[in-house]
Amino acid sequence: MTGYIGKRPHTTEKRREGMPRPATIRTMFRKVLVANRGEIAVRVIRALREFEIDSVAVYSDVDRAALHVRMADEAVCLGAADSRESYLNIERVIDAARRTGADAVHPGYGFLSENAAFAQACVDAGLTFIGPSPETIRRMGSKTAARAIARDAGVPTVPGAAGTVSELGEALAIAAEVGYPVLLKAAAGGGGKGMRLVSTAGEMEAALRDASSEAERAFHDARVYIEKAVVRPRHIEIQVLGDQHGNLIHLGERECSLQRRHQKVIEESPSPLMAIHPELRERMGEAACRAARAAGYYNAGTVEFLVDASLNFYFLEMNTRLQVEHPVTELVTGYDLVHQQLRIAAGQRLEISQKDVRWRGSAIECRIYAEDPENGFLPSPGTITRLHRPTGPGVRLDAGVYLGWTIPMEYDPLVAKLAVHAETRHLAIARLRGALEEYSVNGVKTTISFFHQILNDPEFRAGHLHTGFIEEYMARRGKEAPDEKVVEMAALAGALAAAKGEGSPRSGAFAARPAVSRWRVSGRERGLR
């Protein structure tokens, strides 16, 4: 059932009543629909407020009381909790924009953000899509097409198939040519879906079948391609920013090597590698800009690379949207990427040149999930019964939850992104440890304590990072992650428990925080009453 919540008493129009809008704002938009949920919807709504632009939230039935709905000037219910009936339903999102009189749409990340058909539907409806052109999204959305564009632009790519493979014989021939181990990867999407590591020819048949099946379920596209597996690589991405007048720059790198099930969990800028090899940033930045120019790119985007032990880097893919981890770039450069997106979408020229970009200090972000780190990071949906947020100099928390909010099982269990900024990486790690100590979320299990353990790890502190880091760390602790079917079953069980009021606070080995006594914290709280 779709529905509509009218304007709030605190609408932007009322806030600016009788006040002239700055000239830079008059050239932008009157009202923007945010086609997303959670912390990224909150992040965009805040940026719209700063530019005195009205915001429209969309939500599903289970998100009716969500924070982004409460913050927006207007809100429209798209339908049931199933994303296909709400956040992924193009027709309903476009209809919501029409009904509310929005003149632009910000897609956030995930959901429809890299869907070329959605971007085209916005254009066809007379709406400005705050992102690149539909054609660019289409070209870079195909992993094989993106690799070809990058290769033609002189950007190094991982050796592998020029196109997709579907036959076992063809797959075996390509693998034999590039050499094992190889990766099978979905042509239509990322996030680890449809990805399989193949170490020998005997593993190929099952891996090809499983990868194709998973890609079909995740992206409705069974096509996969083969590339050489880079052993223990770093995953480093470059943030690019381009306007519609041909100006394009990069804002440096983000180190995204710490991943779990191919999903990034800790990101930082600058990469520790750049402290040793500062010339690598310039080389990778130039390569990223070449790939983006070749794709006709404008707005904010990210070019992702793998970097091997010999400092060779290889194009991986391009994300044609704002990244989850964009706050670390904002902290070290001082540029607000959502502000830049709005200006570019409104047709303005970039006011930043490459020589203007400077990187100051170090920023680290960790993604706080409602997951149980003691039990293979199984999802832990439920109601937040206690919430204490970290504060202080250089601490940033991008969250989409509040005390009493029930984290639904239907979506990604991201609670918040906690980022810090300091003069050096050493101080940033210390500041993040302190912020994690202050951060308390009860009623659900979270990854807060897990990150505290990672930050104490000597290998992490030394900057010895690679994409298999967390698996190796967990193996040292004797912990293993479950397969995807176990995760899905646990999510369902957790949701049923939450519905019965059986949510549990943190406990166990990972929850132990030896640096601060819980008795002492309790005593402080009593003393402040």
Q: How far apart are CA 65 and CA 184, in angstroms?
A: 41
Within 13 A of 350's CA, how many CA atoms are on the CB side?
24
For residue 528, count other CB atoms closer than 10 A to its CB.
6
Calpha distance 25→10 (Å, rounded):
19
Residue 37 CB coordination number (10 Å): 28
Residues whose CB falls within 8 Å of the CB of residue 75, separated by 6 or more in sequence, listed in order: 4, 5, 56, 57, 58, 59, 69
Beta partners for residue 259, in sequence order = 264
- 321 has catalytic annotation: yes
3-state secondary structure of 294: helix
Backbone angles phi, psi at 68, to 5 degrees: -65, -30
Catalytic residue among 43, 147, 321, 343: 321
Reading phi first (left if > 0) and then psi (alpha if -120 to 50, else beta), residue 179 is in left
How would DSSP label each residue in 151-166? Answer: HHTT--B-SB-SS-B-
Comparing C-alpha atoms, which of 232, 254, 259 is closest to residue 326? 254
Please tell me whether residue 239 adopts helix, strand or coil conformation: strand
φ, ψ dihedrals at 290, nearest 5°: -65, -45
DSSP lists the bridge partners of residue 382 as: 407
235 Cα distance to chain centroid: 14
Phi, psi of 417 (to 5 degrees): -115, 120
270 preceded by cis ω (within 30°)? yes
Q: Where are the alpha helices (DSSP H) in 101-203?
A: 116-124, 134-141, 143-152, 168-178
CA pair distance 223, 227, nearest whole angstrom: 14
Are 184 and 206 contacting, i.e. CB atoms less than 8 angstroms apart? no
* H-run or E-run covering 250: strand 248-260
Residues annotated catalytic, as ranges: 321
